[in-house]
Chains A and B, each alone.
Chain A
């Protein structure tokens, strides 16, 4: 059992729920909807879908080997996980989709900040070698490295704060699109500093940025025409 991953996930969940509770109080969300529940449910749906997709792409049949799904360290497919999480969230908030997604955006970004900051539980914060003064070396090594996951956590925290401050003055769906674009963009800009085999899922991050900008622009035009 991977307890350090659970701790990391736990920090992400705590950050999500704290901000979601704030949003439940300050933003008009339909009665009976708890943004924290919906976001955590979407994260679980994404994790399962991403893990199953990764298994299939690795040549492991999830029907014949269902226990492998629990070995999340073996890989989670970024694109499938993101799409499943967004689909689950959209379904859960479908009755007032864009307003609810806007309300959920700061909590989702805070959750990503918590998840990345949770690297400290796994000793998994370091990336590419660096001679910058704040670079750190892992235990037993003399090579200093960028604390890339802390960079990502800081950027997500900034984005979560910005989306909270942006508030409700925006047309429905614009903030949700911003959050999707920022989520992909932060992974995209930090990816060159992140250790990976084969460069990582840069295409999926780029797709997130483009999709997020597209959603924001489309909602802006759509709501302008409706007025």
Chain B
């Protein structure tokens, strides 16, 4: 069992994946508010950083959720207090393709009233906040809140 785990771990993804993406675009608080107000779909906004251990644990969950619900819900990632290189390596490592923005000062979560990372906000279409998950989100909570979003008017 130990040998299997070690062998599998040695084959699993290395965090230093070379980046082949464009830089993560910056987003200000006012631009984020515009994005929220103009949203015609519910939004799931995940605030993350490449140095944040729990963010790593939930990244593949968001990727799976985006694959399953991306046609009905807009997924947005906000990389805070991070470097472009770290953020790009993180996105490449986990194969995250939904829209992500760079907020090096963490101004957006500060404005929204969140503390630390990871944070996950659930917004109805039009920008009303329905739920905030502080800390790592598990599959059950993400699925339940998505269900609430889809049922919201």
Which residues from chain A sit less than 8 Å from chain B, CB to CB?
2, 49, 52-53, 55-65, 67-68, 71, 73-75, 84, 87, 124, 126-129, 138, 140-141, 143, 194-198
Contacts and interface: CB of A to CB of B under 8 A. Distances in A.
A59 B89 CA distance: 13
Interface string B9-27: 1101111000000000000
B144 A195 contact: yes
Nearest 8 CB-CB pairs, A to B?
A74-B57, A195-B143, A59-B13, A58-B60, A195-B144, A71-B57, A73-B138, A56-B12
Given A56-B9, A59-B94, A197 B141 contact: no
B57 to A, nearest CB: 2
A56 B10 CA distance: 9
Given A61-B15, A84-B1, A68 B53 contact: yes
Given A129-B147, A143-B151, 13 more contacts: A53-B8, A57-B60, A58-B94, A60-B56, A61-B9, A61-B14, A62-B12, A71-B136, A74-B54, A75-B57, A124-B141, A195-B147, A197-B65
A71 B53 contact: yes
B3 interface: no
A65 B15 CA distance: 10
B131 A63 contact: no
Contacts of A60: 12-13, 56-57
B9 A59 contact: no
Interface in B4-62: 5-6, 8-10, 12-15, 53-54, 56-61
Contact of B56 (A68, A143, A194): A68
Nearest to A123: B141
Given A61-B13, A71-B54, A71-B136, A197 B68 contact: yes
Contacts of A68: 53, 56-57
B56 A65 contact: yes
A63 B8 CA distance: 10
Contacts of A127: 144
A1 to B, nearest CB: 10
B85 interface: no
Nearest to B10: A63
24 contacts: A49-B5, A53-B5, A56-B5, A58-B59, A59-B60, A59-B95, A60-B13, A61-B14, A61-B15, A64-B14, A65-B15, A65-B56, A73-B138, A74-B57, A75-B139, A84-B1, A87-B1, A124-B140, A128-B147, A129-B151, A138-B148, A140-B130, A195-B140, A197-B139
A196 B131 contact: no
Which of B1, B6, B59 has most chain A Cβ within 10 Å? B1
B136 to A, nearest CB: 5
B15 A64 contact: yes
